[in-house]
Structure 1
Amino acid sequence: MRILMVAAESTPFVKTGGLGEVVGSLARALRKRGHDTRIVIPFYSVIPSELKETVTFRMRWTMSLSWRQQSVGLYEHHAGHGVTYFIENAFYFARDAIYGMSGTYDEGERFAFFSRAVLEALLHLEWVPDVVHLHDWQAALVPFFHEHFYRDVDKLKGVRYVLTVHNLKYQGIFPPGIVGDVLGVGPEVLRTDDMEYYGQANFLKAGLVRAHRVTTVSPTYAEEIRHPYYGEGLDGLFRVLKPPVVGILNGIDLEDYDPAQDPHVFVPYTDLQGKRDNKRLLLESMGLQAETSKMLMVMVSRLVEQKGIDLVLHILSELFQRPVVLMILGSGEAHYEAHLKQAEAHFPRQIRVMTGYNEGLARKLYAAADVYLMPSRFEPCGISQMIAMRYLAVPLVRLTGGLVDTVQPYNPLTGTGVGVTFYEYNAHALLDAVDRVLQLYDDETDRHFYNMTETMRRRPLGWDRSAVAYEALYRSLFPEPPEDVPPSEPPEDVPPSDLPYPEKRMEETKIRERKAALRSAVRMDRAFNPTIGSIV
C-alpha cells in the first residue's frame, strides 16, 4: 500500500514535541510491514544544516492561493527504504521558529499554503498514494482543497484520507475572512456542518467533516472528546461523526529509546543497579552528590497548563518537606518558568529547573529518574510516560486519556501494575500519590520497584501493534485492497488477542479497561489507607 504522511513536523528533521516523533516512528513501522510510506513536511530554515545537505531539489512551480501567486519548491530526501518530501517557500518557512503565534492570520496562511501545495506536488509526482494520512490542523485542509479545486482530477480520485487528532486543544481557528482571502472559496463553507466554529473558521473541523476516517491517539481520549470537558467545543461533532472516531495508541521507537544502547546516558544499563549509577552521576553533575538517598522525580515537559504545572507549583513547599529531589526540563509559559526558577532559588538542594530543550539531557534524566512525574489535566496519549517506562522509571500520572491506557496502577498487595496514579485534578491528590510512591520507594527490599520495572520490561511500548491497527483501518477504506498490500498478520511477538482493533471491539474494551484502571487505583489507595471509601 502507498501511504503519504502529511504533517507540520517529523523526525529526524524537525520536532517540537510528540507529533514529530509519532509521524517519523509510525512511518518507519509501516515501512517495516512492507508499505511504501512517505512523508511530506514544510522545508523549514531551522532544519539542521547537516540534514539539509542530504536533501535534493526536485522541481519548482507557481501555485495559486486565492489571489496570490506563490512559488512552490519540492525537495526530497532518500534514506533506506523511506522518502521524505519537503514543500519549500522562503516567505512562509524561512523563519526562526517552526510555528508562529497560534491563531494568528499568518499562521493560517502558512499552513493553508502547505496543504494546497501537497496536492499540487502529487500532480507533479509519478507516485500517487492510496492513503493520505493527515496529522493535526496544519494538514487538515488537504481534503478541503481536494473537494473545492481538484475534485475532477483523475489522478487523485482514488485517494482516501485519514485524519489523526493528536491534541484537540489546537484546532487552527482563524477569522472568517480567511476563507475568501486565503482559501479562495465563498462564505458558504462557514456553516455549522462545515468549518464554521462560533463565528470563526476552523481548519481542523474542515478536515474532520471530509476525511474518510478520523482517529486519535488513544482509546480513552477517543471517548473523552465526545464529552464537553475534553471536547474543546467539538464534542457534539464527535458524538455524531460517522464512522466514529477510532483511538489507536501511539508507540515509541524501541531502537532509538534503548537504555542499553543509548549514547546519551552516563552508563548504558538494563537493570535497577544501572539506573542507580546514572542517578548518582547525574546528581553529581548537578552539584547534588549528597542527595543520592532521596527519591529523584523528573519531568521532561512543555511548561503549560495542560501538563499539570499548576498542581506541581501548589505542592512544592510541602513536597520539599519530604526526601525528594525534583528535576524539570522544558520550556513554555513565562510565568511557569519564573515560578519554578523562584522555587529553585528557595530550595537549592531539592530542585533543578533547566529551561529549553536538550535531547541528551532529557535522556540522562529518564535514565536517572526513580519516578517520572506526569500530572496532566488532559493527555491525548503521552509519549513521555512510555519513554520513562522504557528507561525503568516509575510513572506517577493522573488517570486521563492515554495515561489510562498505558499506566496500569500498581497494587502493592498483588505486585501487579507499573505506576502510581491519581484521578482527581487536585493538588492534594497529587501530594497523596507522591506519599504513596515514597512508601514504595522506601521499602528496603526494593520489592515494589522491582515488580514494577519487571512488568515494564514486558509491556509492548513499540509501534508493532498500532501499525497493524492502522494497516487494518487503511484497508477498510477500499472495497478491494490496493495492489501490493501485505497481509495484516500480527508481528511474531504480539499475541493476536492483544492487538488493537478498529472500532467495534475497541469500543467494547476501552470503557472496560478504564473502569478496571479506576478500580485498581481505589484498591491501591485502600492498601495504604483502609479508611478510604468506594467511588460511586
Structure 2
Amino acid sequence: MRVLMVAAENDRLPNCKVGGVADVIRDIPYALSNQGVEVNVVVPDYGQSQLNRTFVADIAVPFRQHLETATLWQVEQQNGVTQYVISHSLFSQHHGEIYCNDEGHRPFATDATKFAFFCAAVSEAIEHKMFAHLDVLHLHDWHAACVAVLQKFSPRFVYLKQLRTVYTVHNLALQGIRPFNHDESSLEAWFPTLSYDGQMLCDHQHPHCFNPMRSAIALADKVHVVSPTYSEEVLHTSEPDRGFFGGEGLEHDMQIAKRHGKLAGILNGCEYPTLSIEDISLSDYLVLVESELLKWMSKLAVVQSSHYIAHQRLRKWLTSSWQGPLITSVGRLTDQKALLLRQPFANALVLDELAKEAEKKGGRIIILGSGDKYLESLFTQAMARNDNLLYLSGYGQHIGDMLYHLGDLFLMPSSFEPCGISQMLAMRAGQPCLVHQVGGLADTVKDLENGFSFTGEDLSGQVSQLLEKFNFAISMYADDPKRYQQLASNAAAARYTWLQAANEYIDHLYQ
C-alpha cells in the first residue's frame, strides 16, 4: 500500500513547524512504514535554505486564469518514507513564515490562496503520476482540503478520482472560510471554470462562503479526528459561554459522517526514546533560562515588561531555595489553553489563586509560552502580583523539554484539546498532569491513576473543580509523597505509541 500525505507543516523538515500537526506529519509516516506501508509526504517549500532538494518535475498548474509553474522536489528518502516539497513564489514570499495573519475583514485571505494553489499543484502532480502509483490520499486540516474539492468536481482529474481519500481534522476551530466569488481570494477566483455543488461546499453560517474543512469532511471516504473522546465531542454544538467546545458549526456534518461509518477517532502517539534528557538542577535550569531570556530581550529595541519582570524574578529565585512543588506549563498561549486560567476570581484571576494556593505549600509555578497578546499581558500582570510565579513569554525547545523533566505537576486545563502532546511529554518524563477531562486529555490522563483531572458543567463549575483538584494534588504531594510518587511512576509507564496509531490508521482509515 502506498499513501500520500498532504499537509502545511512537517517537523521532519527544518523551519516547517508551527503547531502539533507538524509533530504528527513528522512521526506517523515512519510508524506506518514499519507496518509495511510506503509513505510519501508533501508540503509547500517555504524557502528553507537547509533543504537538500533533488529535482523531480515541473508542474503546470492552471490557477487564477493563468498557467503557473510549480516545481516538485524530493528532499529525503529514508526508512520507506519519501519527503517532498513543492516550490512556488506564493509559498516563499513571506520569508519562511508558514502562516500570515490577515487583519480586519478578510480572514485567511493570503493563506487560503496560497494553500488553494498548493492543492492544485498536488492534484496535478498526482494526476501525472509524479508520485508513482498511489492507493490512499491522506489530507490534513483545511490547508489540504481543496484537493478533495478538485478530486470531486474537476473533470481534469481521472486518476485522482480513483484514490481513496482520508481527511484528518487536527484543529476544528480553524476552517479556512473564504467567499465563493467577488474576491481575489475566493473559490471562483482560484478555479474559474470549476462547476461545483455550492450546497455541499458552503459554510452553514455564511452560505455565500466556501468552507474547505466542511467540504473535505463531506467528500472524503474517511474522516479522522485525533482522539476517541474528541470524536464524540465534535458531534455536539459548541457552547463557549458554558465552556464547551465541540463541533464548531460542523457538528451536523460530523453526525452524518458517523452515520455513514466514515468518522474515526484515533489517538495521536508519542515517541519514547531510550535516551532520556540529562538530569539538571533547578538552579542550573534557571541560569539557562536567563541566557535564553537575554537573547529574547536583545532582539527588541524596547524591553518588554514580561521579559523585564521575568528577569527580575529569575535573579531573585537564583538566590533563594524552596522545598515545595514546582508546577509547570508549556504551550501556545491561546484561549483554548488559558480560558480557565484567565477567569476572574477574588478580584484577580484564577491563575493568581493557583499561585496563592501553591505558595501555601512552598510551591512555585513556571509557565512557558507565547501567543495571544492580551493573554500575554494578563499573565505578565499576574507574574507581577505573585512572587512565586514566573511567566516566560516566548518559546525555546530545549528549555521547554527540560521543564517536562523538572516539574512536579504539569498544568494543562485546556477548554478543548483534540489530542494534546504536552501531557504525553510530561507523563513520559514522570510528571503527573492536572488536566480538564476533554478530548485527548481524557483519553490519556486517568484521575488518581496516572494524574489528576477535573470536569464541570459550565465555566464556573470548571473553575471550581480546577481549584479543588489543584489543592488536592499539591496536598498529596506534600502530605502523601509515597502515593504521589506512585502516580508519577504510573504516568511514566503509560504508553501511547505511534505504532498503535499506525495499526489503527491501516485498519480503520486505509482499508
TM-score, scaled relative to structure 1 = 0.79
Letter of the 2:475 counterpart: Q
Matched, 1:225 2:234: yes
Give runs of aligned pairs for residues 245-260 of structure 1, distance below 5 A.
245-255=263-273, 260=275
Aligned match for 1:190, one of 190, 195, 198: 198
Is contact 1:396-1:419 (8 Å) kept?
Answer: yes
Is contact 1:303-1:309 (8 Å) kept?
Answer: no
Is contact 2:137-2:163 (8 Å) kept?
Answer: yes
Is contact 1:218-1:250 (8 Å) kept?
Answer: yes
Per-residue CA deviations over 1:369-393 (Å, capped at 9, x if unaligned) read 1111111111111111001100111
What secondary structure does 1:437 align onto? helix
Per-residue CA deviations over 1:6-55 (Å, capped at 9, x if unaligned) read 1100112211111000111111111111211111000012x3x33x2x22
Structure 1 residues 343 and 418: alpha-carbon distance in aligned structure 2, compared to 1, 3 A threshold: same
2:464 counterpart residue number: 428
User: How many residues were matched structurally?
Assistant: 447
What secondary structure does 1:320 align onto? helix
Letter of the 1:423 counterpart: T
Flag as ranges the 4+ runs of structure 1 deviating above 6 A: none
Aligned-partner Cα distance in 2 for 1:393–1:315: 22
| 72-81 vs 371-380, greater mean Cα deviation | 72-81
Query: RMSD across aligned C-alpha pairs, in angstroms?
Result: 2.0
By how many angstroms is 1:188 displaced? 4.8
Structure 1 residues 135 and 452: alpha-carbon distance in aligned structure 2, compared to 1, 3 A threshold: same
By how many angstroms is 1:151 displaced? 6.1
2:93 counterpart residue number: 94
Letter of the 1:365 counterpart: L
Structure 1 residues 232 and 383: alpha-carbon distance in aligned structure 2, compared to 1, 3 A threshold: same
Matched, 1:375 2:403: no
Give runs of aligned pairs for residues 70-469 of structure 1, distance below 5 A.
70-81=68-79, 82-96=81-95, 97-101=97-101, 103-122=107-126, 123-125=128-130, 127-149=132-154, 153=158, 155-177=159-181, 178-185=186-193, 188-191=196-199, 193-197=200-204, 198-199=206-207, 200-229=209-238, 230-241=246-257, 242-255=260-273, 260-262=275-277, 267-268=278-279, 278-283=281-286, 286-287=314-315, 288-289=317-318, 290-312=320-342, 314-322=349-357, 323=359, 324-347=363-386, 349-410=387-448, 417-424=449-456, 425=459, 426-443=462-479, 446-469=481-504
Is contact 1:279-1:292 (8 Å) kept?
Answer: no
Aligned-partner Cα distance in 2 for 1:126–1:227: 39
Is contact 1:326-1:352 (8 Å) kept?
Answer: yes
Per-residue CA deviations over 1:160-196 (Å, capped at 9, x if unaligned) read 10001111101111122112111335575321x3334
By how many angstroms is 1:237 displaced? 1.2
Aligned-partner Cα distance in 1 for 2:94–2:370: 20
Letter of the 1:60 counterpart: D
Letter of the 2:56 counterpart: R
Aligned-partner Cα distance in 2 for 1:78–1:37: 12
Structure 1 residues 429 and 284: alpha-carbon distance in aligned structure 2, compared to 1, 3 A threshold: farther
Is contact 1:22-1:252 (8 Å) kept?
Answer: no
Letter of the 2:92 counterpart: F
Aligned-partner Cα distance in 2 for 1:24–1:330: 22
| 421-430 vs 324-333, greater mean Cα deviation | 421-430
Structure 1 residues 298 and 172: alpha-carbon distance in aligned structure 2, compared to 1, 3 A threshold: same
By how many angstroms is 1:60 displaced? 2.0
Letter of the 2:28 counterpart: L
Structure 1 residues 158 and 427: alpha-carbon distance in aligned structure 2, compared to 1, 3 A threshold: same
By how many angstroms is 1:350 displaced? 1.4
Per-residue CA deviations over 1:455-475 (Å, capped at 9, x if unaligned) read 123322221211100011244
Per-residue CA deviations over 1:395-415 (Å, capped at 9, x if unaligned) read 0000011111111000xxxxx
2:505 counterpart residue number: 470
Aligned-partner Cα distance in 1 for 2:188–2:502: 39
What secondary structure does 2:110 align onto? helix
| 308-317 vs 230-239, greater mean Cα deviation | 308-317
Is contact 1:2-1:35 (8 Å) kept?
Answer: yes
Letter of the 1:225 counterpart: V
Aligned-partner Cα distance in 2 for 1:152–1:63: 12
What are the ranges of 5 or more consecutive residues in structure 1 without an aligned counterpart? Answer: 269-276, 411-416, 477-536
Letter of the 2:7 counterpart: A
Letter of the 1:434 counterpart: F
Structure 1 residues 79 and 5: alpha-carbon distance in aligned structure 2, compared to 1, 3 A threshold: same
Aligned-partner Cα distance in 2 for 1:231–1:420: 26
By how many angstroms is 1:245 displaced? 1.1
Per-residue CA deviations over 1:236-273 (Å, capped at 9, x if unaligned) read 11112222411000011223xx6x433xxxx34xxxxx
Is contact 2:264-2:508 (8 Å) kept?
Answer: no
Matched, 1:55 2:53: yes
Aligned-partner Cα distance in 2 for 1:461–1:354: 29
Letter of the 1:422 counterpart: F
Structure 1 residues 186 and 117: alpha-carbon distance in aligned structure 2, compared to 1, 3 A threshold: closer
Aligned-partner Cα distance in 2 for 1:406–1:2: 30
Per-residue CA deviations over 1:220-244 (Å, capped at 9, x if unaligned) read 1101110002111111111122224
Letter of the 2:269 counterpart: G
Aligned-partner Cα distance in 1 for 2:470–2:217: 40
Aligned-partner Cα distance in 1 for 2:153–2:248: 27
Letter of the 1:245 counterpart: L
Aligned-partner Cα distance in 2 for 1:185–1:226: 35
Aligned-partner Cα distance in 1 for 2:473–2:466: 11
Letter of the 1:303 counterpart: L
Structure 1 residues 280 and 451: alpha-carbon distance in aligned structure 2, compared to 1, 3 A threshold: farther
Aligned-partner Cα distance in 1 for 2:281–2:404: 9
What are the ranges of 5 or more consecutive residues in structure 2 without an aligned counterpart? Answer: 239-245, 289-313, 344-348
Give runs of aligned pairs for residues 510-525 of structure 1, distance below 5 A.
none
What secondary structure does 1:115 align onto? helix
Letter of the 1:293 counterpart: Q
Structure 1 residues 437 and 279: alpha-carbon distance in aligned structure 2, compared to 1, 3 A threshold: farther
TM-score, scaled relative to structure 2 = 0.83
Matched, 1:17 2:23: no
Letter of the 2:190 counterpart: V
Is contact 2:171-2:418 (8 Å) kept?
Answer: yes
